[in-house]
Every structure is written in C-alpha cells, then in structure tokens.
Amino acid sequence: MQWIELRACPACQEPASAKIGKLRAKYYSFGGSRRPMPRGGVALHRCVTCGLVFKAVVPAPQELTDATSDAEGSLWGGNYDYADEIACLEALDLVGADILDVGAAGGEWLAALPAGGRRSALDIVRFNRLDTAGGGEFIEGFLDSSELMWSGRPYDVITAFDIFEHLYDPSAALGNCRSMLKPSGWLVIETGDADAMRRRPGDWPYLNLFEHHIAWNRQSLAAAARAHGFEIVSFEQKAHKGPAGPQSLSWRARTALYRLLPELYVQAMNAAGARSNPPGDPASIDHFRAVLRRT
C-alpha cells in the first residue's frame, strides 16, 4: 500500500493545524474487502485558517483507482431518492440544461433527471451500466487531476454529490470545474458537514473510510470558492440523501444505531467488516448542499 502524508491543509495550504482525533479502526472496509491502515494510524486535523478537517495520511490515488476497478457494482451508486436534488435544479430552472455529473458511478442520478440537455459523467472508472444521454461524454479521471481530457464544450451545471470529501487537491478540482463551466455556470455540491459532525460523539464515522479524505464546513468552502472564481449562492445543512423506495430492515437498524449510539455504530460496523459511513438518516443533519456560481 502506498500512502501520502499531508503537511498542510489541502484546501488553503495553511501549514498550521490542530490535531482533533485519530481513527481507532485497525483497517478500512472497502468493496467487500479489508484494507490495512497505515503504520502509526490516521490522525485527524483541523486547519486553523479555513476550518477544513483532513486526514494526515491518505492512500495514493492509484490505490483508489485499483480498488474501485475491483469493486464495481458493490460500491457507490446506490438506489437513492433524488427528489430533493431534482427540486434544487428545478428551482434554478436548470433541469433541461447541459449537466456534467462528477463521480457518476453507474449514472443513477443522470438517469433520474428528466430528459433534457447533454448528460455527461466524470469518474475514475467507467461503470458498465452508465449511460451518457443527449450526446453527453464520459470523462475518465479524478476531478482534481491536472490532465483531464474532455470535449472542451462547457456545461451549464456541474453536480458533485458526495464527491468533495474525496478530493486530494481542492484547488485543482475547483479550477477544473471553473474551466468546464460556461460563464455564470453553476456548481452544486453535496458533502459531509464538518461542523455538524464535530458536534456528534464518536469516531468520525464519515472519515473512517478508505476514500474519504476531508470534511468541509461553510467557512472552508467559502474560502476555497472565493479563491477559485466562485461565489456561494446558497448553503443549507441537510441529511445525506436516503434510499429510494421501502427501507430495508438492515438500513433501519443501522440508522437507529447511528442515531442513538454513534460510537457503538462505528465499532459495530468495523467489527462486521462493513463500511461505517453514516446511513443517510433523515434525522441526522450531517451534510450540506451548497450552490455555487462561477464569477
């Protein structure tokens, strides 16, 4: 396993940070297998300048690409209820616009949208079931890559749901978003809310994942947006999107445990070899949605 050590805030480059905790798990669960933690464990830091929470050690990008290729189908792209996200685009009159979805996995969100403009996807591997409709394209790579190959035809909207917690280099990611958007284009972000999570007891279940490197709050996102040619138009705290249709017994059990005993939740998930991300509990307002506009 190849690991990368961070010596400064990955969002604002401030070298000073406060250590706020350490992951207690002995391994990560990813794609049905266990992956070792780095020697010495994983410390959690909070940037003193922008407030970003970040891990001091993260897996090298190639480790994630390899692990994701191995795990297709068993990871991400769940059957979510996207009504709230569609309502957000409707309110901005953007449902029929050209949309690029980052981290599109099997294309579930793009497929949930009413038909309209180009439906394009960016991801580190192409899932077989992904459909890019309306003349859309597939862009292969990390959002924070310095060498993304794309059509050069900019978009009205970029959606990034549950993506910004994966970033290695937020500056590069926001730079890429800006260059792939039309002037005054929109960037809609949903990710974990570090401020909400700090108020919960427990072991940062959100960062106890192989592929989650950072947690944002309003302050850190506003600073990064400003530095990269965006303004925040709206910011609302919310729950993670929930599953579509009837909820399974195991989802209900996980949700109840996460709600009532978050510390035990993480321990139980680790012991079972399961992933300990929060289960999309509608009562746990531990995420946010920010709508940004290119300035």
Binding site for Zn ion (CB under 5 A): 9, 11-12, 14, 47, 49-50, 52
Q: Are 138 and 126 in contact (CB under 8 A)?
A: yes
Minimum Å distance from CB 12 to Zn ion? 3
Minimum Å distance from CB 230 to Zn ion? 16
Q: Look at residue 163 and give its three-state secondary structure.
A: coil
Cβ-based nearer residue to Zn ion, 20 or 283: 20
Minimum Å distance from CB 171 to Zn ion? 11
Distance of alpha carbon 134 from alpha carbon 149, whole angstroms: 19
Q: Are 76 and 124 in contact (CB under 8 A)?
A: no
Sign of CA dihedral 61, 35, 264, 9: negative
Minimum Å distance from CB 251 to Zn ion? 35
Cβ-based nearer residue to Zn ion, 50 or 207: 50
Nearest Cα to 284, choosing from 158, 173, 200?
A: 200
Cβ-based nearer residue to Zn ion, 139 or 189: 189
Cβ-based nearer residue to Zn ion, 14 or 137: 14
Distance of alpha carbon 47 from alpha carbon 214, whole angstroms: 11
Cβ-based nearer residue to Zn ion, 17 or 159: 17
Q: Going edge to edge, which strands form the sheet with 214-215?
A: 17-22, 43-47, 53-55, 214-215
Minimum Å distance from CB 224 to Zn ion? 8
Residues 6 or more apart in contact with residue 48 via CB below 8 angstroms: 14, 16, 17, 18
Distance of alpha carbon 282 from alpha carbon 275, whole angstroms: 19
Residues 6 or more apart in contact with residue 13 via CB below 8 angstroms: none
Cβ-based nearer residue to Zn ion, 49 or 237: 49
Minimum Å distance from CB 284 to Zn ion? 26
Widest CA span in the chain: 50
Cβ-based nearer residue to Zn ion, 170 or 279: 170
